Amino acid sequence: MSFGASHALRGVSADFHSGEVVALVGENGAGKSTLLKVMASVIRRTSGQATLDGKPYAPQNQREAEKAGVALVFQELNVNYCLSIAENIMLGRLRDYRRFGLIDWPRLQREAQSVLDRIGADFKVDDEIEKLDLGQVKTIEVARALATNPRFIFFDESTAFLNRRESARLMNVIRELKSQGIGIAFVSHHMHEVFGISDRLIVLKDGALVGSWPTEQMTSDHLAELMVGREMVGGLFPPKAEDAARKTRIEMKGVVSSSGVGPVDLVLGSGEIVGIGGLKGSGGEAILEVLAGVEKIDAGEIRLDGEIYRPASPRAAWASKVAHLPGDRTGEGVITEFSVLENITLAERPSRAAGMVDHARMTELSNEQIRLLGIKTAGPEAPVSSLSGGNMQKVVLGKCLATAPGILLLNNPTRGVDIGAKAEIYRVIRKLANEGLAVLMVSEDLHELLGLSDRVIVTRNGQLSQSFDRNAHPNEEEVVKWMM
Ligand SMILES: Nc1ncnc2c1ncn2[C@@H]1O[C@H](COP(=O)(O)OP(=O)(O)OP(=O)(O)O)[C@@H](O)[C@H]1O
């Protein structure tokens, strides 16, 4: 599969069987999404053949692939907020519900609800779609694929936007589908998912097939090595900071957000990385958004370097050198139609005298981030829409770092990022923290939360329920206990 001069897949051969779960693994940009999109006919392959049950398989588009029994759940969030939940689930199939020239809405609602029930969704078809969180939105997409009655279903990093509970539920759905004889392939950067449910592994690197192995014959260290092409030495996380005297940067006292989170008391010092863990909606994200000028406060006080800090807008927060990496990269982090360069310099546009944009400096800034974060792109002028998911995520981080922030607010910073790149990002964040950056991070990845943070704060029902210092060496179970 080629996109102009760029070869996303180079002579890859693979096979998929009913009742089998295959994990597709590889670095960001290795070609995993492309392989799934080719098989589901979302894009038309440049060359090569495919067969289904021994017969030529060449659907002209995604709809034809679905008719043949092949469905895909996309990596990026992909629902239409102007439509209801039921319409989103049955999208593209409304015609099947025509009766006397009209849509039979009660039947459509009933059938959409029964798909949601099949996957144990915790919301109903008549709920308001705008009120759903990212995990629930992803569930709609899984339901949409299932509603086509697929024989093969491909999940492209479907757990990247899910919390632990939702991911565990999706893993159960996959097991259930497998037991019904459905063939499954999924992409994941989470080793516990890969080793937890796959029967076989397919490893891709730079668009080429590295090989395929029964999962039980593989170790996670060896797999990481196959993916990144080198041995991962020294572990994923750089050593934590010494307890050097820190200057208080942010101080929150009795803060209550407009969404009802709080009252929260929190202190963030220069040079430290504070991680917030908690169930979705329990407060961590709201704390970040208050500091980022996205959400207002109803009570309490925030100080930045001792001065009252009450950003009226995200723009005001960025102007105070408070950078924010939001949870939804394509919805809030980047403008996909814009180039890598335009996105990296979106928050702080270098300008020359008389308000003229300084193009040379923009190029320099974006090249710096492309190098620093290892962003795989055809060049700074390439549109972000041509990047793989993990590389888009790095662009959002690059946009934050390009502003040389004093405070960095991270909402799940390594969603969809491969293991080698994660190690690199953690190294960069730690280095900046050592130079004085104050980092406040919300993460649903407990391994990341405990591995990177100097201090872990747990939120529950809009309040801080517990705080763990790095010297206390909390384990996952202890932290989870305070979330419930
Ligand atoms: N529409 C496109 N135009 C140009 N290049 C593209 C396009 N889609 C994908 N590519 C390129 O193809 C390569 C493979 O991308 P793909 O999305 O398949 O990677 P991936 O393995 O799924 O990565 P990730 O783990 O980050 O999601 C990348 O270099 C990407 O930039």
Residue 230 region, left (φ>0) first, then alpha (ψ -120 to 50), else beta? beta
The pLDDT, as a whole number, for residue 138 is 84
pLDDT in tens, 351-393: 776 778 888 888 999 999 999 998 989 889 999 999 988 899 9
Q: Candidates 10, 34, 375: which one to mutate for ligand 1, based on the most atoms within 8 Å of Cβ?
A: 34
Quick one: 72 and 132 in the same domain? yes
Residue 328 lies in a domain: yes
Residue 55 lies in a domain: yes
Confidence band for 230, pLDDT divided at 50, 70 and 90: low
Average pLDDT estimate for 262-280: 91
214: Cα separation from own chain's centroid: 27
Quick one: 209 and 331 in the same domain? no
Residue with CA closest to ligand 1 atom 18: 31
Residue with CA closest to ligand 1 atom 11: 8
| Tokens standing for residue 134 | 């990212």
Is pLDDT at 28 greater than 90 in this prediction? Answer: no
- Give the H or E element holding residue 8: none
Average pLDDT estimate for 285-293: 95
Instruction: Give the least confident one: 111-120, 206-215, 469-478.
Output: 469-478
Number of domains forming the structure of the chain? 2
Confidence band for 160, pLDDT divided at 50, 70 and 90: confident
d(CA 327, CA 305): 26
ipTM: 0.97
d(CA 170, CA 165): 9
Residue with CA closest to ligand 1 atom 1: 386
- Domain of residue 307 covers 248-483
Confidence band for 231, pLDDT divided at 50, 70 and 90: low
The pLDDT, as a whole number, for residue 286 is 94
- Number of the ligand 1 atom closest to the C-alpha atom of 27: 25
Average pLDDT estimate for 62-72: 94
Quick one: 194 and 339 in the same domain? no
CATH assignment of the domain containing 284? 3.40.50.300
d(CA 180, CA 197): 15
Residue 116 lies in a domain: yes
pTM of the predicted structure, to 2 decimals: 0.79
Quick one: 98 and 13 in the same domain? yes
Q: Residue 460 — φ and ψ, nearest 5°? A: -150, 130
Residue 353 lies in a domain: yes
Residue 242 lies in a domain: no
Average pLDDT score over the chain: 89
Residue 159 lies in a domain: yes
**Ligand 1 neighbourhood includes 30 CB (under 6 angstroms):** yes
**Ligand 1 neighbourhood includes 339 CB (under 6 angstroms):** no
404 by DSSP, 3-state: which? coil
Average pLDDT estimate for 96-114: 89
Confidence band for 244, pLDDT divided at 50, 70 and 90: low
Quick one: 315 and 414 in the same domain? yes
Quick one: 19 and 129 in the same domain? yes
Tell me how far the alpha carbon of residue 82 lies from the centroid of ligand 1, in angstroms. Answer: 28
Q: Considering just the CA atoms, what is the radius of gyration of the chain in Å?
A: 23
Beta strand 152-156 with 70-73 is: parallel
Residue 235 lies in a domain: no
d(CA 197, CA 191): 10
Last residue within a domain, chosen from 165, 197, 228: 228
